[in-house]
C-alpha cells in the first residue's frame, strides 16, 4: 500500500558563492542547493525525498526567494518544517518559509513571473569586503546611456543574442516586463532589477554585460537594439559575473502572497488562495522603463 503524503512548498534563500548552482552536479563537481535541501528533508522525513525547484540558478548566483516543493510522509505533517530544516542546513542557505499546498500543485506550471536583481559597484578605488561576494566592481558608469539602452530590451523580443549555449529551447523569444535601476545597499552601488515571464540561459547576466559596455562608453545605446536584431551571441560583450546576480522575487499562480513575516515561527498558516505573488526582500523606489 502506497504511503500517504502531503506536498510542502518552501521558500529558500542562499549565498551562491560556494554552490555549483541549484541543480544536482556530477560527483566531484561541487555541491548543489538541491542536494543540501534534499539531505535535510530526507533526514526529517525518515526516507529519501526529492525537491523540485522553480529556477535552476547557475553556479555562484544568489537567491532570496528560490521556491521549491517536495512530497513528504503525511505522518510528518505536524513537524515545524521551517525550524527543523534550518537546524540541518549549512550556514550559507536557509528555508525562509514553508507552506502545505494542494497535492496537484507543481511549480513548473505555477510560476507566473520572476525578478532578478543585479548589483554593480561603482567606487573606482575599493570594494567593501562585506559587499565583494555580491557585486560586480565596474567603476563609474553613464547611467543615462545605460537606461536608454535598457529601454530597447523592455517588451517582447528575440533574445538569441543574449543566450549562452548549453540549454535547448523551442524559442528564444521572451518578454521583459521591466528593467529598472534602483539605489543599492550603499551609496557606491546600483541595483538593476529585471522582471519577466521566463529567461534564457544566463540572459540577465548577458543583458548586464551589454549595459555595462554601453555605460563605459564602448558603444552607443542603440547598440543594444542592433544586437537584438542580429540574434548573434558572438557579437555581444562578455557575460557579467555570477556573483552580482540574485533571484529576488517570484509570482506564483494560485497561491496567496508568501512572506517570512507572516508567523513568528516562520510557518505560513494554510488559507484559501485569494491573490497571487511571492515577493523577495528589500525593494527600493522604482525608476523608469516599465512596461505593463
Q: How confident is the model at residue 260 (pLDDT cuts 50, 70, 90)?
A: low
- pLDDT at position 193 is 98
**In the annotation, is 58 catalytic?**
yes
Residue 10, pLDDT > 90, answer yes
Q: What's the pLDDT at 80?
A: 97
pLDDT digits (tens, 9 = 90+) for 185-236: 999 999 999 999 889 999 999 999 999 999 999 999 999 999 999 999 999 9
**Who's near 244: CB < 8 A, 6+ residues apart?**
118, 119, 120, 134, 135, 136, 208
Helix (H) or strand (E) holding 14: strand 5-14
- Say how far apart CA 254 and CA 287 lie, in whole Å: 29
pLDDT the model gives residue 1: 61
Q: What is the pLDDT of residue 3?
A: 83
C-alpha cell at 274: 485569494
Q: Is the pLDDT confidence value at 283 over 60?
A: no
Rounded to the nearest integer, the mean pLDDT of the chain is 88
Band (pLDDT 50/70/90 cuts) for residue 25 is confident
Q: Kindly report which listed range (11-25, 39-53, 111-125, 267-281) carries the lowest average pLDDT score.
A: 267-281
Q: Residues 105-158: pLDDT tens digits?
A: 888 788 889 999 999 999 999 999 999 999 999 999 999 999 999 999 999 999
Residues 280, 27: Cα–Cα separation, whole Å: 32
> Burial of 263 by CB count in 10 Å (0-12 exposed, 13-18 middle, 19+ buried)?
middle
CB of 208 closer than 8 Å to CB of 83: no
Q: Exposure string (b/e) for 131-145, b if CB count within 10 Å is 16 or more?
A: beebbbbbeebeeeb
What percentage of the chain reaches a pLDDT higher than 70? Answer: 87
In the prediction, which pLDDT does 166 show?
72
- Per-residue confidence (pLDDT) for residue 279, from 0 to 100: 33
Question: pLDDT tier at 160 (50, 70, 90 boundaries)?
Answer: very high
Contacts of 42 (CB under 8 A, 6+ apart): 48, 49
C-alpha cell at 209: 554585460
Looking at residue 270, what is its pLDDT? 40
- Which of 160, 148, 157, 153 shows the shortest CA–CA distance to 214? 148
Q: Distance between CA atoms of 240 and 192, rounded to whole angstroms?
A: 13
Q: What are the residue ranges of helices labelled H in 124-202?
A: 143-151
Is residue 277 predicted with pLDDT exceeding 90?
no
Quote the pLDDT of residue 287.
35
- pLDDT tens per residue across span 31-64: 999 999 999 999 999 999 999 999 999 999 999 9
Is the pLDDT at 259 greater than 90? The verdict is: no
* Catalytic option among 18, 58, 158, 265: 58
The confidence band for 168, taking pLDDT boundaries of 50, 70 and 90, is confident
Integer Cα distance of 260 and 163 in angstroms = 33
* Secondary structure of residue 203 in the 3-state scheme: helix
Instruction: Say if residues 227 and 206 touch (Cβ distance below 8 Å).
Output: no
Report, as an integer, the average pLDDT of 88-102.
96
Is residue 273 pLDDT above 50, yes or no? Answer: no
Supply the pLDDT for residue 47.
96
The region of weakest confidence among 61-75, 261-275, 277-291 is: 277-291
d(CA 21, CA 122): 27
Amino acid at each position: 500500500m502506497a504511503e500517504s503524503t502531503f506536498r510542502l512548498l518552501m521558500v529558500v534563500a542562499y549565498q551562491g558563492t560556494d554552490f555549483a548552482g541549484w541543480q544536482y552536479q556530477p560527483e566531484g563537481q561541487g555541491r548543489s542547493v538541491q542536494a543540501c535541501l534534499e539531505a535535510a528533508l530526507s533526514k526529517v522525513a525518515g526516507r529519501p525525498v526529492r525537491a523540485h525547484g522553480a529556477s535552476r540558478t547557475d553556479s555562484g548566483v544568489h537567491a532570496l526567494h528560490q521556491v521549491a516543493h517536495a512530497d513528504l510522509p503525511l505522518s510528518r505533517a505536524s513537524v515545524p518544517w521551517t525550524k527543523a530544516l534550518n537546524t540541518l542546513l549549512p550556514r550559507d542557505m536557509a528555508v525562509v518559509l514553508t507552506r502545505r499546498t494542494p497535492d496537484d500543485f507543481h511549480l513548473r506550471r505555477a510560476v507566473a513571473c520572476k525578478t532578478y536583481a543585479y548589483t554593480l559597484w561603482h567606487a573606482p578605488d575599493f570594494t567593501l569586503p562585506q559587499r565583494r561576494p555580491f557585486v560586480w566592481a565596474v567603476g563609474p558608469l553613464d547611467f543615462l546611456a545605460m537606461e536608454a539602452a535598457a529601454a530597447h530590451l523592455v517588451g517582447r523580443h528575440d533574445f538569441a543574442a543574449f543566450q549562452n549555449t548549453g540549454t535547448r529551447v523551442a524559442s528564444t523569444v521572451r518578454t521583459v516586463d521591466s528593467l529598472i535601476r534602483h539605489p543599492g545597499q550603499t551609496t557606491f552601488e546600483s541595483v538593476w532589477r529585471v522582471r519577466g515571464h521566463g529567461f534564457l540561459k544566463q540572459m540577465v547576466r548577458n543583458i548586464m554585460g551589454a549595459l555595462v559596455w554601453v555605460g563605459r562608453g564602448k558603444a552607443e545605446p542603440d547598440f543594444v537594439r542592433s544586437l537584438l536584431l542580429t540574434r548573434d551571441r558572438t557579437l555581444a560583450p562578455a557575460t557579467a559575473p555570477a556573483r552580482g546576480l540574485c533571484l529576488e522575487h517570484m509570482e506564483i499562480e494560485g497561491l496567496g502572497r508568501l512572506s517570512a513575516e507572516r508567523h513568528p515561527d516562520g510557518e505560513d498558516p494554510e488559507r484559501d488562495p485569494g491573490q497571487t505573488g511571492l515577493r523577495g526582500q528589500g525593494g527600493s523606489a522604482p525608476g523608469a522603463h516599465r512596461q505593463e
